[in-house]
Amino acid sequence: MRGRRRLGRPFGRLWAAYAVSAYGSGLGFGAFPLIAVLVLHAGPAEVSALSAVGPAVGALIAVPLAPWVEFRHKRPVMIGMDLVRCAAMATIPVGYALGRLTWVQLLVVSVVVAAAKIAFNAASGAFLKALVRPDDLLVANARFESTNWSSIAVGPPLGGAAIGLFGPVVTVIADAFSYLLSALCLTAIGGREEAPQPRGEAPRAEAAARRTTGEAAPSATGDAIPRTTTEAATRTTTEALPQAIGDAAPRPPGEPAPPPTRKGGPRRTAGLLDGWRHIMGHPVLRALYLNQLLVAGLIMATEPLLAVLLLRRLGFPPWQYGLAFAAPCLGGLVGSRLARRVVARHGRSAVFRTVGTLRAVWLIGLAFVRPGVTGLVTVMAVELAIIVNMSLYTPVLAAYRLEHTPKHLVARTLTAWSVGQQAAIALCTALGGLLADATGPRTALTAAGLLILATPLLLPRPDRTPPASPAEPDATAHAGTAP
């Protein structure tokens, strides 16, 4: 099919909300460290803590929010998280204007924004799954991905110019305003959202629907267990589902009921961990998750190392440093637009194996950067190769993750994924910084480049090939797979 696929007006407004917020965040990219240095005269340790500790603590706060998001209407949650971020960001220019801005305030705002972002993303993923057809998930995620990379390419240079003209907090004001506009776009979607099912009811409802319609039960790999195998297979799967969310398992006749679990006990703990249980219990998602943790952690760990190498050791001017990272982001538009065609032609398994490997092979090139134009071109070429492959791979991964996550687990699964990735980035960044202090940034970049070469070993094996998306021409029947 040629031409732009129409996903409907509600999706258009959701996309507009995402775009407004993404471009606002692009303008405000790096604003907190810059304010810490220029306004508060913070040292390297304080700037590093602001960049690492804030998001890490925010991720921890987001963990107990996941069950709360799961069992509520998703659009009000998204609007609420936008308003929370708007209010938190607005305190910074107010504090600056009053002369009372502190490093602690920047850290607290960083924590609040990070936690709200994870909750927003979890709710938006669940909302998107209900908003578009299963075979449109790849197209929708590809559009989000292209918007993300274009905002990173355009936002930071414009933000830097705005700071030079209007002062250090102007981009924070723009970012806060973007969250307000995003909330307005979400409000404009209108319509009635499907009511979330109460705790414990969703798995039973899905099992009952399978028994009524004769639909197959999903296996751990996301494929269907044919009903011809025996009714016992469906019954076993159905009985296991309540245990996964902390409900009691069926007990033999005559056995007394266990004492009720008090609020805040094991049942609540089970709810917090359900996202990780789903990921680790699904062979393909588990492999993709572990691979993503290491790839994201090692790539992001190189950012501060490269800043030290380029700006301090090799003497690159700031504008060249900004250009080296902004220009390659345009490659994200290329990769995201190719995602659907590549999946249609080669299949999703080939994308996971081939493109997932290609994300990892280029990073080692950063260890060979030299001064001058040659070094600038080297950085841009490496970043471009990584970004093109990442932007192609990411929407395919996002669509697969939504397709193979039951509706009652989407928010908790996405939260678990985000929290794990944020923790991996923080850990790898800290270890990279320690290694750079001991041996130098080039050695740390070399170590990251070599370690990431091993990450393709974690990708799904050929015998666990993910089933084709409904959008693929070679799609096979897989009734019962989560939409």
First and final C-alpha spacing in the chain: 22
Distance, in Å, from the CA atom of 162 to the CA atom of 156, rounded to the nearest integer, reads 10
pLDDT tens, 386-400? Answer: 999 999 999 999 999
Q: Report the DSSP pairing between strands 224-225 and 217-218.
A: antiparallel
Q: Find how far residue 259's CA is from the centre of its chain.
A: 39
**Percentage of the chain modeled with pLDDT above 70:** 78
Q: What pLDDT score was predicted for residue 249?
A: 42
Could you give the C-alpha distances from 232 to 46, 206, 239, 251, 355, in angstroms and in order? 59, 16, 10, 17, 40
Q: What pLDDT score was predicted for residue 478?
A: 34
In sequence order, what are the residues at sequence separation of 6 or more whose Cβ sits closer than 8 angstroms to the Cβ of residue 468?
Answer: 347, 348, 474, 475, 476
Reported as a pLDDT band with limits 50, 70 and 90, residue 3 is low
- pLDDT for residue 419 is more than 80: yes
pLDDT tens, 58-89? Answer: 888 988 988 889 888 999 999 999 999 999 99
Reported as a pLDDT band with limits 50, 70 and 90, residue 464 is low
Task: Note whether 7 and 132 are within 8 A (CB).
Answer: yes
To which residue do tokens 């705005």 refer? 162
Q: What pLDDT score was predicted for residue 199?
A: 57
pLDDT tens, 193-242? Answer: 776 766 555 555 455 444 443 444 444 333 443 333 333 333 333 333 33
Q: What pLDDT score was predicted for residue 200?
A: 54
Lowest model confidence (mean pLDDT) among 290-299, 420-429, 457-466? 457-466
Joined together, the tokens standing for residue 6 give 């129409």
Task: Note whether 466 and 377 are within 8 A (CB).
Answer: no
